[in-house]
Structure 1
């Protein structure tokens, strides 16, 4: 697994506001979209393209289009849904699948409750959207599910990561077929499995605390 921390002054500025407990949900959602937009630019550097002839007002040339089969965006429900709009602003041609995973608060292990993906993910580049890479269980389970389906070139986009989650991903996926692009690598996890300093529960801050 390759880890890329997207160091940039704009990302740092927006992340500081995002972390602030006083930031209300409408601003939080807007900042998430802006941050994901910036992270998607970094995450798509290895996007497969193909040559396409085009005629400009001056002459003909060969340009580039995103190659088929088209990539797939896979937000992990529910918090990952808050990242989808920002991602699709840069990559509107993607297909979208969904994986529903919740963390068991007693065991801290992931529990899958929903999957909705294109029928065939073989040889597809996939972008998994999950705001928090904490213990790594949910992200690892989603990536493994996609690899089992034949997906190639999987990139996860996260806002905040803990070293524990990064270590799990590196252990589970030692080759270079999986990348993780994050806005910030934080100190670690507390006794409840939450990232410190983190930004709280991303789902609650996006949508409220309804069960």
Structure 2
């Protein structure tokens, strides 16, 4: 597994505002989208391209274009939706799938309750979006799901992560081609498995708490 911790003053600044408990919901949503676009630059450094020839107003030249099949962006519901627009702004031709995952309160294991993905992901590069990498259980399950469906390259993008979560993803990745991109690596988890210092529940801060 390749670990990338994006170090940029703008990323740190925007994360600081996100962490602030006083940041209002609309600002939180906007900053999440902006942060995703910044992180996407790091996450797409190895996106697959192929040579192509074009005509400029002056002459022919050779450039590159995204290969087929196109990259697949997969936000994990619901909090990952807040990152989606920031990603597709950078890669507007990417295709989008969805994974809904929840923790079983009895077994404490992640369960997939919804998915909207191609039947085969053979040869696909997939980009998984999940704001918070805490214990790593849900993200590890999502990565396994994509590889089981045929993907051969998965990049996971998170705003924040913990050492515990990183190790969980490293173990789950094994010798498969997995890249993990974080906006910041925090101290760890508290007794309730919340990231410290973290930013609270990303889904609630993006969309509010459902009654």
Q: TM-score higher than 0.5 here?
A: yes
1:115–1:172 Cα change, 3 Å? same
TM-score by length of 1: 0.97
Cross-structure match for 2:10: 10
Cross-structure match for 2:40: 40
> In structure 1, how many angstroms separate the alpha carbons of the residues matched to 2:103 and 2:28?
22
Cross-structure match for 2:189: 189
Cross-structure match for 2:150: 150
Cross-structure match for 2:172: 172
Cross-structure match for 2:66: 66
1:178–1:97 Cα change, 3 Å? same
Q: Does 1:110 align with 2:93?
A: no
> In structure 2, how many angstroms separate the alpha carbons of the residues matched to 1:119 and 1:172?
22
For residue 16 of structure 1, report the CA deviation from its aligned partner: 0.1
Query: After the TM superposition, which of the residue ranges 193-202 and 100-109 deviates more from structure 2?
Result: 100-109
Residues 6-25 of structure 1, C-alpha deviations (whole Å, 9 max, x = no match) = 00000000000000000011
> In structure 1, how many angstroms separate the alpha carbons of the residues matched to 2:103 and 2:131?
14
> In structure 2, how many angstroms separate the alpha carbons of the residues matched to 1:176 and 1:9?
32
> What SS does the aligned partner of 1:170 have?
helix
Residues 114-144 of structure 1, C-alpha deviations (whole Å, 9 max, x = no match) = 1110222111000000000000010000000
Point out where structure 1 has 5 or more consecutive residues left out of the alignment. Answer: none
Cross-structure match for 2:204: 204
Note if contact 1:108-1:193 (Cα within 8 Å) is conserved in structure 2: no
> In structure 1, how many angstroms separate the alpha carbons of the residues matched to 2:134 and 2:52?
41
Note if contact 2:103-2:109 (Cα within 8 Å) is conserved in structure 1: yes
Point out where structure 2 has 5 or more consecutive residues left out of the alignment. Answer: none
CA-based RMSD of the aligned residues comes to 1.2
Note if contact 1:2-1:176 (Cα within 8 Å) is conserved in structure 2: no
State the number of aligned residues: 211
1:83–1:203 Cα change, 3 Å? same
> In structure 1, how many angstroms separate the alpha carbons of the residues matched to 2:132 and 2:107?
18
TM-score by length of 2: 0.97
For residue 175 of structure 1, report the CA deviation from its aligned partner: 2.4
> In structure 2, how many angstroms separate the alpha carbons of the residues matched to 1:203 and 1:104?
18
Q: Does 1:53 align with 2:53?
A: yes
